[in-house]
Structure 1
Amino acid sequence: MQFALPPRRSPHTLPLSRSSRMSSYRRKQLKSAAVLAFAILSLIYLVRYLYPSASPSVAAPVGTSGVVIVTLLDRQRFSESYLKKIVANREDYAKRHGYTNFFASVSDYGDAVGDAPMSWAVAPATRHAMATYPSAAYFFHLATNALIMNPTKSLESHILEKGRLEDLMMKDVPIVPPDSIIKTFAHQKENDVDLILTQDSEDLNPGSLILKNGEFARFFLDVWFDPLYRNYNFAKAETHGLDHIMQWHPTVIARTALVPQRILGSYSSDSPGASLDGTYKDGDFVIQFRGCVDTQGRDCAHELEPYYKLWEKKRQSD
């Protein structure tokens, strides 16, 4: 009688078992490494999201200007001869410093503005410029009632250079003068800034502002142009809308720097509401003829003429 012999244990059984255990250990190691890598990437994303100033600045590729000057031309309220002088002023300045001009007509945004005053068109026009030049680093909005008087000053040397804005920033001052209880942040740094404004004796001044390209810029313009504000019938339209946003939205204040009025938008002697030291003096960067188109007895072209001639002399002598 024959009995089946028990199966012989393969001499390779033990090594295979060890290999299996080693493979399991390696899989655990790889899984742990993957979890750690995911956690690190998630942390980096969170930091970049919560602190956008830590991300690199928007760089303009070759052939694209780093600064775009946004000018709205209102042909219903200003004469063609006046507007030609404004265009010449902007073109000369852009050529000197390698900037790009974005000219638009107020009427182009009639459908977007709706029944609100057309001065609200500054928001969609700036957004339009951003869509047209998505790689530009900054957008400099300058109202039609303003003239660049010191063309040798670039925005970089005048305001944007590292350390320069830090020196100019007005900290712990009322957002809306003279006695708003909401103030600019006392410990704000220039790296936190995406919007640069000035103010007169009564309000913020959107007629001359600098906006850094990026997510905040799009957010700010969307908030400012919200139908709720446009339909609220503010006495000074987009200016009072801006005053309101700055006082009630810490997210916006945290990214905004106020600079002295004469740095960004001096007023002519005929313009009401200049700050204590906000009236134009020779050598100032910009002069604004505030209210020249709305105030009875004033004429924008007449007020512009002596300053335009002075600018021409400066341009020819440089």
Structure 2
Amino acid sequence: MHYAYPSRKNSNPPRYLPRTSRLPTLRRRHLKPIALFGLGILALVWFLSSGGSRTGSERKISGKPPVVLVTVFEEKSDNAEYIRNIKDNRSQYAEKHGYGTLFAEVGDYDLGGSPASWSKVVATRHAMTKYPDAKYIWYLDQDSLIMNPRLKVEEYVMGTSRLEDIMIRDLPVVPPDSIIKTFSNMKGDDVSLVITQDKDGLAVGSFIVRNGEWAKFFLDTWYDPLYRSYNFQKAEMHTLEHIVQWHPTVLSRLAILPQRAINAYSRPDRGEQYKDGDIAVRFAHCRGTGEKSCAKEAERFSYQWRTSFNSH
């Protein structure tokens, strides 16, 4: 069984100090659990007041553009050509389908001392502000390439019938044996967050959110300072695993897809390996230098994506 956070948190307990008052100690001990309980109550109130689904009172989104691609780049990169290749890949795909793009750098956001990987959450929220009428936001990590220009996100991934065909129901949300599982009766129209799993757990390098009030709530909850203060071992990844297990408001809108749907890997050691025809490939856990560097991994696929894009 997976526990929500104690087993995945780096802990450095303070030295024992004599207590002068039992009440302050109790307050310190229960402060964070009480705060987490409060967040859960607020989420439940929101869930009940919204009827657990999209309502007619929510602002209608025109779907222009239908999708926004979001990628956060490292500020310092030893390979400018590699970065240009990634940006060119996103731009060509977006131009072909009339999508928007948001390219950001880690330094664009004040993360309050949190690890740089949290910038993906802030950038996705930023995209919703910049493109308020976009229907979907697809966050895709820097170390990845879109490979199939024919596939549209709104159809191939987020289409109602497509989601109902491929979403994995009754699946432990944190592998291998979380007692919390994806809903067995989920409908495609109810899905607002799409993600995959790899051998480590929820794979946050590629995910899609349906724009709207729920997405704002979700991203703001994910980035909540209280969760970031827990210093989870894998930062935003373990925070998300905690949220989907403890908050039905999030779980009720979550669909976990087969990994290759949006998140195939260039090598099989961490998850499902890319095959021709998949929408994208990620160089998961690639390195800065050497034969397994991100730039070297990209070389294996760059000619292929450019040839494919030029032929369609």
Which TM-score bucket, shorter chain as reference? 0.7 to 0.9
Query: Aligned equivalents of 1:180 and 1:272: distance in 2?
Result: 22
Match of 2:191 in 1: 193
Q: 1:311 aligns with which of 295, 301, 305?
A: 305
Structure (1 or 2) with the larger CA radius of gyration: 1
Scaled by the length of structure 2, the TM-score of the pair is 0.80
Q: CA separation in 1, counterparts of 2:101 and 2:84?
A: 14
Distance (Å, rounded) in 2 between the aligned partners of 1:232 and 1:313: 46
Identity %: 45
Cα distance in 2 between the residues matched to 1:263 and 1:295: 29
Which residue of structure 2 aligns with residue 97 of structure 1? Answer: 97
Counterpart AA for 2:115: P
What is residue 60 of structure 1 aligned with on the other side? 62
Asked whether the 8 Å contact 1:178–1:201 carries over to 2, the reply is: no
Q: Distance in 2 between matches of 1:212 and 1:122?
A: 16
Q: Distance in 2 between matches of 1:79 and 1:128?
A: 26
Unaligned runs of 5+ in 2: 1-46
Aligned mates of 1:220, 1:296 — CA distance in 2: 38
Q: Once the 2 structures are TM-superposed, how far is the Cα of residue 202 of structure 1 from its aligned partner?
A: 2.1
1:1-318 matches, within 5 Å, as 49-55=50-56, 58-60=60-62, 64-77=64-77, 79-109=79-109, 111=110, 113-269=111-267, 272-274=269-271, 278-293=272-287, 298-318=292-312
Name the aligned partner's letter for residue 100 of structure 1.
Answer: G
Partner amino acid, structure 1, of 2:79:
S
- Quickly say closer, same or farther: Cα 1:51–1:174, change in 2 above 3 A: closer
CA displacement, residues 7-64 of structure 1 (integer Å, 9 cap, x when unaligned):
xxxxxxxxxxxxxxxxxxxxxxxxxxxxxxxxxxxxxxx9983143343784327xx4
- 1:273 deviation in Å? 2.0
Deviation of 1:296 (Å): 7.9
TM-score by length of 1: 0.78
Higher relative contact order (CA 8 A, sep 6+): 2
Helix, strand or coil for the counterpart of 2:208?
A: strand
Distance between the aligned counterparts of 1:226 and 1:47, measured in 2? 21
Contact 2:149 2:309 in 1 (8 A): yes
What CA RMSD, in Å, does the superposition of the two structures yield over aligned residues?
2.1
Local SS of the residue matching 1:183: coil
Q: Aligned equivalents of 2:178 and 2:262: distance in 1?
A: 21
Q: Return the letter of the residue paired with 2:258.
A: P
* Alpha-carbon distance in structure 2 between the residues aligned to 1:148 and 1:154: 11
Task: Check the 8 A contact 2:206/2:263 in 1, yes or no.
Answer: yes
> How many corresponding residue pairs?
265
Residue 211 of structure 1 aligns to a residue in which SS? strand
C-alpha contact 1:48 1:54 (8 A) present in aligned 2: no
Q: Secondary structure at the match of 2:133?
A: coil
Shift of 1:149: 0.9
Distance in 2, matches of 1:186 and 1:219, equals 24
